Amino acid sequence: MNSLIQRQIAFNLSSSNAWDAFSGHRSQVTSLLKHGWDPSRLCILGAGNCNDLDLTTLIQSHQDIHLVDIDMDALAQGVAKQNLVDHMYVHLHGGIDLTGMIDQMSHWSPNSALTETDIADCLDASTRCLEQIPGPFEVVASTCLLSQLIKIVVDTIGENHPQFVDVIQSIRLGHLRLLLQLMVPDGLGVLITDVVSSDSYLPLASVPDQNLSQVLVQLVRQGNFFHGVNPAAIVNLFRQDPVLSQQVASLEPVGPWRWNFGPRHYAVIAVKFQKR
C-alpha cells in the first residue's frame, strides 16, 4: 500500500477511541454543519472516523449526508459507532484521494526536482475526485483536512525544499477551489482547520476560552502555526484569488476553539462562505 495512505490510516487509528475527548470539538463542528436548506445534501471531506461529527443530529438537518475520505475502514467504523450502518441517508465514499496526487507524491523526497507541471498538478489534480463524488451539494465542508494534505508535503519533500512553499500554496488553493466546485449556487461552504497544537505551544490546553483568540493571534505573529493554515492568509486568499473571489459572495470567520485530541490539543478555526 502507498506509504502516505498508510500514514493517514495510522492517524485515523490514533483517534479511533477518542469519542469522549472530542466532545467539545464535535459540538462546534456539528453546529456549523447542521444548518442547511430544506431539503439539503451535505458533503464532508476528510470525515475519517467521524469522531468530530454527530451524524444523528446532522441527519435531522439534511436530506443526505455524504462522507468522503481516503480511509474506507475509518468511515465504516465511524458510522458503526453511531449505529448508522446502512442508513439510507448516510453515504460512504472511501478510497478517494482528495489531492489527486498521492501516488506521485509517494515518490517525492527532499532531493526531488519538481517541475512547473508538478506544481500546476498540485493545484488542478484534486478535481479528479469530482467524478467519484455525486455532487453538487447545498453544504460542503472540509473538516481539519487541509493541514493533513499539507503535512503530506512536509513528510515527503520537507520544509527546506526550494519549492516547498509553492507546493503547499498550490495544494491549499486547489482544495478551496474544490470545495466551491462541489457546491450548488448559493451553497454554503465550511472550511475547518486546526492551526497550531500543544506540541509547539505547551500551555494551549490551559488557555482560558476567552483568551484563546488573543493567544492564537500572538502565535501566528510569531510564526508558530502549521504551514499553509494562517487564518488571515486563508481569508485573504478567498478575497484575492481571481477564481475564488468571483465565486464567493460572503465570508464569515469563526472561532477559534480548542480541540482535545487526547495526546495533544489543537486550536481550530473555521471559515464559512457562500457561493454566488
Residue 37 — pLDDT band, cuts 50, 70, 90? low
The count of structural domains within the chain is 1
Q: What is the pTM of this model?
A: 0.96
C-alpha dist (Å) from residue 41 to 60, 121, 144: 11, 29, 20
State pLDDT tens for residues 145-176: 999 999 999 999 999 999 999 999 999 999 99
Task: Give the range of the structural domain holding residue 150, as residue numbers without chain letter.
Answer: 3-275
- How confident is residue 13, by pLDDT bands cut at 50, 70 and 90? confident
Phi, psi (degrees; rounded to nearest 5) at 45: -90, 130
Which of 19, 263, 29 has its CA nearest to residue 145?
29
Per-residue confidence at 36, pLDDT binned at 50, 70, 90? low
Backbone angles phi, psi at 17, to 5 degrees: -105, 25
Q: Which three cell numbers stand for residue 165?
A: 512553499
Q: Which residues pair with 64 in a beta bridge?
A: 41
Which candidate, 12, 91, 84, 7, places its Cα nearest to that of 44? 91
We report the CATH number of the domain holding residue 161 as 3.40.50.150
Task: Give tens-digit pLDDT for 94-103.
Answer: 999 999 999 9
Quick one: residue 179, left, alpha or beta (phi over 0 = left, psi -120 to 50 = alpha)? alpha
**pLDDT tens-digit profile of 86-126?**
999 999 999 999 999 999 999 999 999 999 999 999 999 99
Distance CA 268, CA 179 (A): 19
